[in-house]
Structure 1
Amino acid sequence: MTHTSLEALRKSLSKPKTSAQLCLLGIVAGLFAAILIIIFRLLIIGVQAFFLPETDNYTQLPDLYRLFIPVLGALLIFIFAILSRYKHYRLGVPFIIHRIKQNYGNIPFNSTLNQFFGGAIALISGFTIGREGPSVHIGAAGASFIGSKMHLPYNSMRTLAGCGVAAGISASFNTPLAAVIFVMEVVLREYKIHIFVPIILAAVTGAVTTQFVFGNTYELSLINVTPLPIWHYPYLIICGLTLGAIAYAFNRNLMFVIKVFRRISMFPRLFLAGAIMGLVSFLVPQAMGSGMSAIHLSVISAENMQLLLTILIAKLVATLFILGLGIPGGIIGSVFGLGVLIGTLMSYFGSYLSPDIYVVGTYAVLGMAGLFAATLHAPLAALVAVMEMTSSSHITVPAMVVITTAYVSALQFFGNRSIFLQQLDFQGLSYQVSPAVEALQKIGVMSEMDENFKLLYSDDKDQINATLNAVTSDPDNQTPLILFDEENGYRLAEYDLSLMSDNAIPINYSQLEAISSQCTLADVFDILKDKRSSSVYIYNQLDNKQIMGLIRWDHIHQVLTIRNSLV
């Protein structure tokens, strides 16, 4: 009964449509991802509690501690990377984008292990990175694990991986809607309702589960957002242009660091990253810690522009080298922190426009939104994120002005590209698929295969002819005949009407290639695209001797020409 139910579930999930089963799996994936991320965060908080008076606050540590803790952390990251035998650059959001686009979201276990412990060590050691990179990787891997254990169709596993990403971001920042938009805008780069709904449920599940442990808090809740008068808007446009230029410079310099040190082996790279972080922390204690620690600093030191500028420079230099040299961590948290510092500095001139209004908090949030949008090419996710994290309607219109100006100026004037895509290009990891393949990836073979076939274990010509005559006797319901013998394997037998004569109709034999029941029509297309004809047979993933159905090239062609817009 259980086996039959699972087969029915797999067949239902192979269809590109919204279903209760897929929605339920989205919730399960979101819950599992959130639990993994909660464990990840508790590990960081628990270890930091042994030597820090407050989580992520390294300012009270002795100078030599701040100098050597990042170096020790880099050495531990190297040791764990060696043990897990995984390339260190292939982690985080860029790698997940590649795996979802090219491998249906199947995440290697070694990379997940490396990201979990490597990311935890980096954050414990005070590197100025974000926790969302490991969270996204861990969330997608958790969802992928569920799909692979249940042997679900690859099209549904791709959706589940997106659910894991949404749960990871939602659990990191407590922003479920921004997480959904980020997945659709940056990771999947498409909006389809049957994908959209389970991702929404996964994001909500991730947020609610995390709130149960850490409370319903936001990093920006400390910042006081006030409405800006209309005469600030020309200055906001200037701020947006400036943020667009900074985003371009940040992306360009990060890729420069990555390319310069690409030929250096892992140990000297990681050791250098630890040494740079240690030196920066020794000179500027406030620069130590995750990118989100800058938000607290901007609140308590908003009037000290010299200190904020020093912290900004220190964090910027450290972030470029740490991420560029391969320390496992997220870029989003770093961009958030840098953007808040830049926005707070910009508020110095904004205060002259309205001396009687405290505008520092508003500009801090706008700086974060503009830098996020231009750096990651995610304007809508940036807008939704600041709306959720501030719970203020006053930020909406000013954020739209800054975000659009920063995004368009970075793209138009500087030719800036998403830092994720630049990293993927550098690593040689493909992320682009043709529209035809993308449409076919959403349809599992189980939903389209022809299950009405005749299987004959014989190579006897007379028996084949008699069977073929029987299955094709009804012109309106002709059943395909599949043959099997030890010498030729599986073949499709058909009458060749083009060579018919008065005496007989020749039989045409077509060799059939096999494809797993987990595959999608894109995999069938990849096999048959050169021939533009023939067929493949579908075998049961759990029993490769059981033939489940047949898919012809004509059927693939029909999906692409007639039903493409529906998927």
Structure 2
Amino acid sequence: MSESNVSKIYSDLNKLKWSVTFKGILVGLFAGLTVALYRLGIEFATEKSLEIYSFLKMNPIYIVGWLILIICVGLFIAYLIKISPESKGSGIPQVEGVLLFGQKMKSIIIIPVRFLAGIISAFFGASLGREGPSIQIGACGGEIIANKLSNNKLEENYLITAGASAGLSAAFNAPLSGIIFSLEEVHRSFSPNILIAATTAALTADIVSKTIFGLKPVLSYVDVPQLPISQYLWLLPLGVLSGIFGVIVHRLLLGSGNVYEKIPAMFRPMVALLIALPFGLFLPQVLGGGQNLVQLSETAQMSIGLLLIVLVCKILFTTTSFGSGIPGGIFMPILSIGALLGSLVAQLGVNFGLSSEMVSVFCICSMAGVMAGSVKAPITSILLMAEMTGSLVHLLPVAAVAFIALLTSDLLKTTPIYEVLLERLLNPNQTHTKKKSNVIIEMVVELGSEVAGKQIKDIQWPNGLLIVGIRRGDQEVVPNGDFVIHHGDYLIILSSEQEYQYMNTVVSKLCKPM
């Protein structure tokens, strides 16, 4: 390839940086508005579900009518999932499948199905959160805008990533978490262009969200005390327990899906809504995502016995709701489980010298720990706690518990839950229609990868791959076979549209730690 062509590629990449910046703002506006509407719908429906079950408990004669309604709604949700299988469950594995393996999303269908199925399920109190669907709704917005304004495959991926970041940002008023989530969980690597796209979209979506919902944090903890250094030893058992419960939730969520596979698909949502009925009548605290449980746990309004009962029931209810495939996320239910666990440990600890004022600190720490143990995205978990609570005074103990929980989860040989869900979604025989002739792949070389420290000629590259440039810091190099690749280098690869996904997958494996 001539130097003029290589220079043009670098020039195009530089233009791409500013293109994704401005288009990321549009993605953030779209995602912020749509996710805010979805969030309003979910919150309204969850509040109404509490009123409905309270009425049914006082007037049990109407339960028969409610059962008939459950059957009809369950069949309707199953129909929605049938016409839009990509809307099933969380939505995060579907987004990762698009970005990492070239799967397709029918964005125009997914958004209305997510709205309908998610809000209807919330009226019946399903124990599901809004964050996973919000991430997919945002990603769909990014794809829609990319299809209208871009003819570049790389830029399309950046805008889908930007939409995912904006979705999480708007769902929780947490722009930093949205940005880091894209790098830590979705791509699992760092790229300046991904960072730029995610940042502009997440911040824009946050502005939209705060305009609608106000500046108050989602979990407005007040006067969170600092944990004294003398009591830091408590973080070790709290981190281990958080990791263990994260693993328990992880395995039950996946196991419930296996159980539901034995039930015909059209009946699965119906079964989940039927299971919600006794919980709604006798333990309404576990209904919905669980934001109310977080507040109850933090203020220590439940006894140790009731905390234990609610904790077990919330875990079981969440796994039965999620395993059915009903469109809904697991972030908030996992956080509520963590808050319950933290409150339980803190109240038990009071008998052994722990100050009762530390309950809120333990709740926040355990939320991050359970999430890190199951999702295995510790940085996102830590930042999410800081943004959702609006306080940084507990950042060190939160980080300690998150990493202790992550270590516990690793020792128990737990695979990240979204990685397992993604593997279940992937279809290796799936083919896609390609419209463009050539695309550029940008890949970062990570420390400990197979290619780091080797000459280009000594690496077994896939047939047909063409490395047209390497970016090292501010330097842009046109390499030859003797060029030694260092970790931190960005490989600029030219691929045909037909080979894009194959090249992207193979090179990604070469550039990641062995």
Q: Tell me the TM-score range normalised by the shorter chain.
A: 0.7 to 0.9
CA distance in 2, matches of 1:531, 1:388: 43
CA distance in 1, matches of 2:174, 2:367: 15
Q: Secondary structure at the match of 1:136?
A: helix
Please report the RMSD computed on the Cα atoms of aligned residues, expressed in angstroms.
3.2
Amino acid aligned to 1:244? G
1:177 deviates by 0.6
Which residue of the partner structure matches residue 373 of structure 2?
374
Q: Secondary structure at the match of 2:13?
A: coil
Mean CA deviation greater in 174-183 or 74-83: 74-83
Q: Secondary structure at the match of 1:394?
A: coil
CA contact (8 A) 2:90 2:329 kept: no
- Structure 1: 5+ residue stretches without partners: 1-9, 431-513, 523-528, 534-551
Amino acid aligned to 1:327? I
Mean CA deviation greater in 144-153 or 259-268: 259-268
Residues 69 and 335 (structure 1), Cα distance of their counterparts in 2 relative to 1, 3 Å cut: farther
Which residue of the partner structure matches residue 500 of structure 2?
none
CA contact (8 A) 1:68 1:278 kept: no
TM-score, scaled to structure 1: 0.71
CA distance in 2, matches of 1:124, 1:80: 13
CA distance in 1, matches of 2:151, 2:484: 23
CA distance in 2, matches of 1:407, 1:143: 32
Could you report, residue by residue, the CA deviation over 1:243-268 in whole angstroms, capped at 9, with x for unpaired residues? 11111121112211111221422222
Which residue of the partner structure matches residue 33 of structure 1?
31
Which residue of the partner structure matches residue 82 of structure 1?
79
Could you report, residue by residue, the CA deviation over 1:131-160 in whole angstroms, capped at 9, with x for unpaired residues? 111111111001110001224311011111
Pair 1:516-2:436 in alignment: yes
CA distance in 2, matches of 1:58, 1:44: 15
Could you report, residue by residue, the CA deviation over 1:216-253 in whole angstroms, capped at 9, with x for unpaired residues? 12232145421112232222101111111111121112
Among 56, 67, 84, which residue is 1:62 paired with? 56
Which residue of the partner structure matches residue 566 of structure 1?
490
Could you report, residue by residue, the CA deviation over 1:73-108 in whole angstroms, capped at 9, with x for unpaired residues? 674354254256133646511111111112287554
Q: Secondary structure at the match of 1:182?
A: helix
Which residue of the partner structure matches residue 359 of structure 2?
360
Q: Secondary structure at the match of 1:62?
A: helix
Could you report, residue by residue, the CA deviation over 1:437-457 in whole angstroms, capped at 9, with x for unpaired residues? xxxxxxxxxxxxxxxxxxxxx
Mean CA deviation greater in 285-294 or 187-196: 285-294
Pair 1:202-2:201 in alignment: yes
CA contact (8 A) 1:71 1:271 kept: no
1:426 deviates by 2.7
1:130-529 correspondence runs (5 A): 130-222=129-221, 224-299=223-298, 301-352=300-351, 354=353, 358-412=357-411, 414-428=412-426, 516=436, 519-520=439-440
Amino acid aligned to 1:516? K
Amino acid aligned to 1:205? T
CA contact (8 A) 1:96 1:105 kept: no
Q: Secondary structure at the match of 1:15?
A: helix
Q: Secondary structure at the match of 1:279?
A: helix
Amino acid aligned to 1:566? Y
1:169 deviates by 0.6
Mean CA deviation greater in 204-213 or 295-304: 295-304
CA contact (8 A) 2:79 2:266 kept: no
Equivalent pairs, count = 446
Residues 322 and 208 (structure 1), Cα distance of their counterparts in 2 relative to 1, 3 Å cut: same
TM-score, scaled to structure 2: 0.78
CA distance in 2, matches of 1:356, 1:233: 12
1:545-556 correspondence runs (5 A): none
CA contact (8 A) 1:75 1:270 kept: no
CA distance in 2, matches of 1:85, 1:212: 34
User: Bigger radius of gyration, 1 or 2?
Assistant: 1
Residues 362 and 530 (structure 1), Cα distance of their counterparts in 2 relative to 1, 3 Å cut: closer
Residues 221 and 191 (structure 1), Cα distance of their counterparts in 2 relative to 1, 3 Å cut: same
1:326 deviates by 1.1
Could you report, residue by residue, the CA deviation over 1:25-58 in whole angstroms, capped at 9, with x for unpaired residues? 1111011111111222233345567x46xxx676
CA distance in 2, matches of 1:98, 1:358: 44
Q: Secondary structure at the match of 1:221?
A: coil
Aligned-residue identity in percent: 25
**Higher fraction of helix:** 2
Could you report, residue by residue, the CA deviation over 1:325-381 in whole angstroms, capped at 9, with x for unpaired residues? 111100111101111111111111333455555111111111101001111011111
CA distance in 1, matches of 2:175, 2:51: 27
CA contact (8 A) 2:124 2:276 kept: no
CA distance in 2, matches of 1:11, 1:148: 22
CA contact (8 A) 1:70 1:127 kept: no
- Structure 2: 5+ residue stretches without partners: 1-7, 429-433, 443-459, 471-477, 492-514
